[in-house]
Every structure is written in structure tokens, then in C-alpha cells.
Structure 1
Amino acid sequence: MAAPSRLSVLVFCFFFLVSHLILPTEASINQDLGALMAFKAASDAGNKLASWNSSTHPCNWVFVSCLQNRVSRLVLENLDLHGSMEPLTSLTQLRVLSLKRNHFSGPIPTLSNFTSLKLLFLSYNEFSGEFPVTVTSLLRLYRLDLSHNNFSGDIPTAVNNLTHLLSLRLNDNQFSGHIPYLNLSKLQDFNVSGNHLSGEIPKSVLGFPKSSFAQNPSLCGAPLVKCKDTHPVPFKPDGSVGPNIASPLTPRSNPSTPVKNKTAPKTPSNTTHHHRHHNGASKMSPVILIAIIVGDVLILAIVSLLLYCCFWQNYSAKLKEGNRSKLLEGEKILYSSSPYPPSSSTQIGLERGQMVFFEGMKKFELEDLLRASAEMLGKGGFGTAYKAVLDDGNVVAVKRLKDAQINGKKEFEQHMEVLGRLRHPNIVSLRAYYYARDERLLVCDYMTNGSLFWLLHGNRGPGRSPLDWTTRLKIAAGVGRGLAFIHGSCKALRLIHGNIKSTNILIDQDGEPHVADFGLYGFAVPATKSNGYRAPEAMDGRKSTQKSDVYSFGVLLLELLTGKCPSVGESSGPGGGGAVDLPRWVQSVVREEWTAEVFDIELMRYKDIEEEMVGLLQIAMTCCAAVPDQRPRISHVVKMIEDIRGVEISPSHDTSDSVSESPSLSG
């Protein structure tokens, strides 16, 4: 009986798993498929979604991304779509939904099913009706953009439910009423301009610029015009509210003129009494005098307090705005000391410059880049690099050339046109650039695994996943190929990199190296000191050449072999002492026949690689020859590296785990 019983349990477990896991997953994806097909049938009259068909998996469709086999990201922008978005409400696992620049109309349907939604962009459509209240139940929402539609009515206070909100854009609609008090501590981007809002701007949004509230004629308060003072309604002597208006039956009297008593003629006694009363009034008792003085002091104190409060409010608002600017400098990309005017991208293109895009880059407006949340990746010789997350979820790297020496716009644009055409698997492709009088920006691909410097030197403590030998050899070959491509890409210009170092070697999600910052040598400030990579001729006033790049590449190979930073190479062994440059230290160690002491201790765990490591060491030392003419061409260096194993070094399966993701640079 034991065997049948055990078999029954196994059969039961199998059917349980099928019914509760496999079938629901299949049903869910069929639900997503049905929702998307219904949406296409209702909205895509121009057949812009031609690749969508029921015979293929929706996760393979254009504009659709999936997570765990469920539709999680839907970006349908500028596709001339019409009608309602109602069918999409069945996509319960959506995290990103963007329907920008289409022709959707009518009220927003119930969105309560979007419990995982983080980004919602519905701008530049024809949606109408009141603010979609069900949006306020999407507690995971980070960005909400309902701008440039026909929404009307009040902005509900329930917006405060969205405690994670970073962006709230309601501009260019027909919203009316007051701006509610917003208790959204994480809000970075707020805009209600171009509506019919009225009343005083709440103090909770004082930190946002004037452009966030413009074109609301009835709106007042900082940072717009000051609200008009409202005079209090006077009280009647009997305690009721209202102006003290005399009854038509009551004779009017002048307070300065005593009323004549017609029934009581003036007598000497009356006259005397009146005279005594006048003299008594003219003589104030000390108590009354003290009371008047105290009252004057109190009034003066109250007026002073009111003036102080008014001054402090304005000062704190400016202080808050200043602090917010400093905060944004850390959290968002700030491109100039003075903000760009709140105008259209066309106006910005004419007045300030324009974004120029190269092949393969999805175009976006400059305002999108200015609003992108970002983190600083590091500061180099040409400026600061940022990771920028655009509203649609795309991630790019932006380099701000603040410290570059650029002679003029024409020279810059010509140089960028050359660099923008360069495409190779081992270089970081330039996707776009921006030039204005005070600002130059480069937009490049973002690499998820950070730099080679981090992978070699970051977190050397317990728990670190070191780079294995195969990965290091693959990186060496990949960087060499990228540099060889740069040297041979434009024979007339004889392009050089000019700044080869481990922080300029970026690693993608597959562990492939990409050479960054190439072609910018012409904009570099003349070097005044060594960084450990520069060739000797680059330090004594001579012009850098492609052979100077070969020297820097040789130092990079030594860095891969030794695990040491080039600028802090320390001699080890008898007689060793202070810091020297890495090539000289390696030469001294090899000369004393301590070759094994050269290699990174993290490589000692691998067997049967000594011959390959020595081979790469010989190549590196050849590249680091003091005389430029004694250094090989980079194409020959790549051939020598590939010959170390007899075959071309390519990504291998056993190296994927060795590329650890940088905690500070991960996407």
C-alpha cells in the first residue's frame, strides 16, 4: 500500500503545480495577448502596430517589454493612435505605460488594476473629464504626466496618496479651483501652468520656479505676484458682524460735535458741569498714561513681528529654493548656472543650441534630458559624467564638457560628426551631442557594469568576486581592438585617444569592454603632471601620438596583470621603498628575477596560466618602451595578445560570474 500511496501523492502534487502555476501563467499571457489585440483593433487605424499578431508571443512585439513572461512595459509614442485606452487596463503587471503624442480622447478609464505601475505618461493627447481619481490608488507611482490634454475640474487632495511621486505634470489643461496642499516630500518636478487655477499657492510647493505656475491669471502668492490683502469685516457695537450703519430713524450725529439737547436748555449749572468735565478729560491719570504707552509698545511689537514673519517667509522661500537647487545638483543633471527658459524645444534650438542625434539613437527633446533624474558617475579630465534615466525608462550616459578647451562651434561640430560615425563593438558609441555658448554635452551608451577600475580595485575585502584570468585576457584583447579601430578609422586625421586608463574602459552587461572618451584629446587642457598612464613624451611638451596611446595601453596591461593602480605602484622585495610608476617597478622586479612577485595575488589561484601571464607581461613591457619608435603599432599588439592562446579571445561562459556589478554604477 505504501507504493501506491506515494504515487498518488506525486500525481496530486503534479496536478497541483500544473493547475496553480503553469496554467495561470498561460492564462495570464493569453489575457495580455487578448488585451493588446483588442487595443490594436480599436485604436490602430493606421496599422502602425503591424507586427502585432495573435500568432506570435506579445513579448516579441515591437514597443512591448516583458518581465517573467508578463507585459511590463508598453511605450507607444507618436503613433497616431485614437480612441480609448480601456483595453489596456487588463495588463495587470504593467510598470511603464507611455501613450505620449497620440490622439486618445474621452475620460481616463479605471486604472485600479495597474497596481505595479511606476511610470505613467499620457501627455499630448485629447483626454478630457475630471482628474482620474483611480490614479491616486497607484501607490507605486513615481512619475505622472497628464499635461497637454483637456482635463478639467479640481486637483484632488488624494494626490497625496502617491507618496513616492517624483514628477507631477498637470500643465496645459483646464483644471480650476485651488492647488491643494501637497505633502509629497520626494516631489522633484511639479508643473500646473496653463490652467484656470485660482487662489494662493500653498507653501508646500514654494520651492518650485515661477514657470511651474505661470498662465493661471487668478493664481497668486510666491513665486507669482503677491495676493491682495483682504480687509477684515468690522463688528457692530452689539457684537454682530457687519458695518455699523445707523438706522434711518436714528438722527445722525457728528462725533466731533456734541448733540444739542432741544429739551434741556443750557443753564449756568449745565455750563459749569460741562466745563468741569472738559478739564477732567484734559488731565490724564498716570494709570491711563501707562496703559496707553504699554498699548503703543504692544502694537509696535506686533507690527515688528508681522514684518519679521513676512521677511522670514520670503527669505525661507529663497533659502528653500536655493537648497532645492543644491539637492537637484546631486540628484538631477544641471547644465548651466542659469536655467533654460521655459520655451519649446524649437525655441531652445534656435536660441541656445540644439541636440544633434546620430544613427541608432532614439530622439528626445532637450527638456526631457534636463528633467531626467540622474546620478553622477564620476569626474574626469574633460568634465563630469552622469547616468540619466529618461521619462520613458531609457538610460543614457551624459558627459558635460565643462573643463574642455573648445575654440568654437564649427570646430566642435566637425569633430563630433567624425566621432559620431564611429561604430565598433569595443568602443562607447556617441549617440548625440549638444552645443551652446556655455554648454557642451555628449550623450553616449550607458554601460551597466561600470569601469574596469572598479572591477580591478573596488571592494578588495571579503566577499569580493575577483576578475579571473580569462576575463582579464578578454578585456585586454577587446580594449586593444577598440583602440586599433580608433587609430585606423580616419587615416587623414590620425585619431588618437589621448587618455587611455582603467576608468575610461567601461564594461557592459555581457562583460565586454568598451573604450570611452575617445577623440577628445584635442579639447584637453595641457597636462602638468603624470597620472601613471601618460607616455614620457606627453610629459615633456611633445605632442601625443598614436604611439603615446600604445604606451598608455601597455600600462593598462600591467594594471591587469599586477592589480595595482599605476599612480601608486609600490616596489616590493629587498630594498624596495617609495612609490614609483608601474612600468619602472615591474622592470625592477623582473630584473631581480622576482617575476612571480609581479602578478596579482588574485591570479595565483588559477593553474597553468603562468606562461600566458608572462607572455602578456612581455607585450606590456614592449608597449611601455621609453622611445616611441620602439613601440609596436596597436594592431600588431592585438595580434600578439590573440596569439597567446592561439585563437581569438571571445566572451566565454565561464567568465560571466566574475564580472560583479558595481553598487554605485548599476542600472
Structure 2
Amino acid sequence: MLPLVFLFLLLLCNHLSAVISLNGEGYVLLALKQSITDPEGSMSNWNSSDENPCSWNGVICKEQRVISLSIPKRKLYGSLPSSLGSLIQLRHVNFRNNKLFGKLPPELFLAQGLQSLVLYGNSFSGHVPQEIGKLRYLQTLDLSQNFFNGSLPASIVQCKRLRTLVLNHNNLTGPLPDRFGADLFSLEILDLAFNHFNGSIPSDMGNLSSLQGTVDLSHNSFSGSIPPSLGNLPEKVYIDLTFNNLSGPIPQNGALMNRGPTAFIGNSGLCGPPLKKPCSSETSGASSPSSFPFLPDNYPPGDSNNPYGRNEKTKGLSKGAIIGIVVGDIVGICLLGLLFSYCYSRVCGFNLDNEDEAGFEKGEKGRRKECFCFRKDESETLSDNVEQYDLVPLDPQVAFDLDELLKASAFVLGKSGIGIVYKVVLEDGLTLAVRRLGEGGSQRFKEFQTEVEAIGRLRHPNIVTLRAYYWSVDEKLLIYDYIPNGNLATAIHGKAGIVAFTPICWSVRLQIMKGIAKGLVYLHEFSPKKYVHGDLKPSNILLGNNMEPHISDFGLGRLANIAGGSPTLQSNRVAAEKPHERQKSFSASEVSANILGTGYQAPEALKVVKPSQKWDVYSYGVILIEMITGRLPIVHVGNSEMDLVQWIQFCIEDKKPLSDVIDPYLPEEDVDKEEEIIAVLKIAMACVHSSPEKRPTMRHVLDALDRLSASSD
């Protein structure tokens, strides 16, 4: 009998130990598991039989205490329990891109050591709790793409370590809290777009000296004037104020200067440069003194401080004085023309005659004797005509030299109006792409050096990296990373002479679209000069091993021009081709290269000389349409032809079914992606709007694609 009692007690102890083995934090997480649906089984190993939750999926511990809870993109459905706040050592929470809903429990903020709270892409609603002010160590708060409403709690300014505040695409209202800019001085990223914030923009926002990238206040209801103090933000910061109710003159100082109109559109009350709407005298008079540059004409009549000595009696020059000045200018111009003609015929002409008589070698000597009438200062001449006979690395990791490059195996990849591109394989196996800009030409080395080194500083996974360059009188080389998978034009349309053609599926196309958008956002917002590509097309979008896109040929036309090249003007005609005849005597990429800007360039490119970022947006939109439809930029309809944008607009107006529009080479399994395809087509149509001001920024395009991807995950 005694052994049986002992055995019973032993089994009972083992059972009790199994029941009580899990610690308190484990039971808190089990309560979370019970409150949500987990269709993908991301919490399948959360078991009560474990001693602690530190080995569970998405859980990270330190000294057996939970410090991080991260389960993104797993279609979790349900609400967060208030008991999560009892995880007092919790530092990081990440539930982004799930289907969580309900209010944010105030008890969550009892975990006062919380450093990051990332909940974007869910369906949370209600107010942001006032208790958020207790999170004195909070650095990242991302509540974007939810349904939060009410005003931003005033207590948020107590989170003085906050570096990232992203609240876009909610229903938040009211003014920003007092001391928003004064107390949140650590902010680096600020995105409040697509809400209903109102009131004036706080003047103390100019104190946020650590901000980077884009400060996005767009698509709200901010009113009043733009505070000139915003100009105190770092000059590299792009301030997006579009689609608010702002009014008055746009301040012209600091970070607000030299901005295009696209940063201010959608505010009917704004006036002054860069908008075409001039300010009335009453409006401009009410502006801050620092809003406009202080030009000579700004001095009031009779002001003793006027260095130009203007006063009320000085109405202008007399008629006789004006006639005298004009006559004097004409005589001076004539004398200069005679002097130029004399010098050219006596000296420069002599050199050209020598070249004709004695051949190229003597002509070279003649050309080296400059026309003495216009000889530069010797130091200037030396700086412009300096020769570089060695490879100049633009990356400290460049471990090869010119000799290795010249001895390497080289294969021609392609030819264009801007030189030949070679695939070069070094002895150690490193593969590079080398573009030869041509022989001879201008000797503007310093200008070339400045430009090429600026391009060489660009570093982004979706932009081809320029690693080094070589300059001499007779040779100019650009050395890039080699991207192995061809270009996007070939991936969409196939290549001449290759019978087998494997179309890319929709998910890969969508990833390529996003990668191109990321590269353009970097160029537009984060590059040192907020660059414009200006010549974006599928043939200069290269694809890596995993089909990731790399934007190439950035700044190439400018470099070729400086180097003395003569880029060939592209033809504005395309050889007749049926849209889906992929195997011809020429490749689709060659066809793309022969299309003048009408294929990918914005309509205003025919009128405006200087490219803008909206040009790139338009080109990107055409590329999206091309990837959706599989058609070339010039579409043949019967005996006529139209560009791709006109064709897709015609299809939409004619209410053609989607099956008539999308690329017939898309794999059959992509048929169920109809909603995504339509959503991308809508984005593309916004990009190719005829009015540049109504096109979205690339930042907004990328956000839209991210939301689309998040909803499909």
C-alpha cells in the first residue's frame, strides 16, 4: 500500500510542476495568443509547458525577461490585451502590417522602458492615449496607416528622446501640441501626412535641427501663414506642405529657398515664388522681413542707408543720357568684333593653315599655341588641361589599378550615342562594367572631376554604383559595378535572336516597381543635390541576380558633354512593330533606345529646358504602364500609331476589359492579381498626368506601393 501512495504523490508532483513551470511573463503572452487569431501559426510554439517564453517565435529576452515582441506581416487578427503593460522590461513592440483592431490599451504604456512602438498597417482606432507621455525612453513611434482619431495628446512632448514620429494616413485632428518643436528636439523623421490636423504650423518647428529627408505635413488642414522659422531646418530637408489651407507669401529663406512649386501646391491662399501667383501689396507688406531677399529696390525712397543713392527726386535717367549709353554700347561692340576678327585671322587662322599644310602632327602643335589675344591666366590653363594618367577610385574598397583593368578580359555589352560599355573580368574574378566615353574632345577636367565625384558619392541598393574613373586627353572611362541580369526592357519584351522567352511574374514586376521608386526617392530627396535623373527608361534599369532593379546612366549625358562627347540625338520614329512580336531583327531595348523623349519624357520636356523631378515621375509612370501591358512606348493601332499613355487612356475611356490591356505573357497564376494590377495602373495614371503639379512625388508613389504590398501580404 505504501509504494502505491508514494507513486501517486510522485505523479501528482510531476503534474503540478508541469502546470506551474511557465513564468508570469509567459502567461501574459499566452493571454495575447488567446485574444487574437493566428492563421499562419506564427505563435504555434508558444506552449505553457515551457519554463519561460524566451524561445518562442517573435520573443527576445534578456536575463530571462521579455524585452522585445515582434510579429510583423502575419495576418494576426484581434486586439491587444491590456496585460501587455505588465511586461515591465519590454523595450520593443512591432506588430506592423497585420489586421489588429480596437483601441490601444493605456495599460500598454505601463512598460515605461518602451523604446519603439511600431503598429503601422493595422486597423487600430480611437484616441492615442495620454499615457504615452510616460514613455520617457521612446525613440520610435509609428502608428501610420490605421484609424486613430482625436488630437495628438499634449503629453507626447514629454517623449524628449523621440527620433521617429510617423502618423500618416490616420484621422487625427486638432492642432499640434504646444512646444511641439521646442521639446521634441531629437526628431529625425517626421511624417504627419494624410490626417486632419488643423491650426497653424508651430513656429518652434524650426528648432528641429536633427530632421532628415522629407518633413511631410501634406494633405492636412493646416492654416495661416508658413512660419519663416521653418527655413531654419537643415537645408537638405524637403518640406512637403502640399494640400493644406495655408495662405500668404512663401518665405524665401534657408530650407524654404530654391524649392519648386510642388512643395506648396494645393494651398490656394499661398502666393509668391516659386508659385506663379504674385502676392498683392497688402499681402507682401504683411510678410516677415526675412521672407524676401533685401534687394536694392527694397529701400524706401530717400533712405539714407541706400547704397545706390536713390531718393524721391531720382526718377530715372534723361532721354539724352539713355541714347548716349546705347550709342556707346553699339560702338564698343563693333570695336570688340573688329579686334576678335583681327586676332583670329592673324594667329588662330595661321595655326589652322599650318595644320592643312603639314598634317595632323604639326596641326597639334599649332593648336597648342593659344590665340594670344584671349590667352588665359597660366594657372587657370594648367588646371583645365591637367592630364590624369591613373585610375581615380571613388570608393575606398576599390583594390584594382589601371594596369589590372587594361590587362583584363573585356567583352562588349552595348553601344550607344554615349560610348561603348564593356564587361571586364579582372584576374581575381571581379567583374566590372566599364563605359568608354570616347576619344579626344574638351579638356574640362576640373568640371568633369567635380561632377563625377558627386555621382560617385551616391550609395543606394537600387542605383548602380560608380566605383572609379579614368581621365586623359584621349580616353575617359567610367567604372561601375557589373549588374548581371540584363535590363528591364529585355526582361519585359525579350531579346532578338533568343527564341525562349520567360516572362516575369506579377510579384517580381511589383518588386521591381518598388525598387525603382526607392532609387528615385533617394535621388530626389536624400542625394546631396536632390538630383533629377532626366532620362529614365527600361533600357537603363538593370536587374541583379534576384531581379532587384538598379537605376543606371544617372548623370551620363552631363559627363559625356563635359568630356567632349557628342551624344547622338535619338530618332523620334520607331520601326513598325506589332506590340507583342517579341522576336525581330532588333531587340526591344534597341527600339526603346531609338525613341525620343516622347516615349518616356514628360510633355513639358518639349518646352522646358531644365529637367524637374516631375519628369522622372512621368517617366516612371510610363514604365509602370509598360510593365502592366507588355507594350512598347509606341503602340500601333491599325494604320496609325500613338504613344503608350494615349493608348491606355483610350482603353480606359472605351471601358475595355482588363484582359485586353494587361500583358498576355503574364503567367496564368497571376490572373487573381486583378485588384493589385488595377491599383498599380491607377498609380501609373496619376504619374503621367499632363499637369506636372498634379503628379505625385516619388515619396507618395512609394508609400502607395508599400501600402499595396502590405495589404496583399
Common fold: TM-score over 0.5: no
TM-score band (shorter)? 0.3 to 0.5
TM-score (norm 1): 0.42
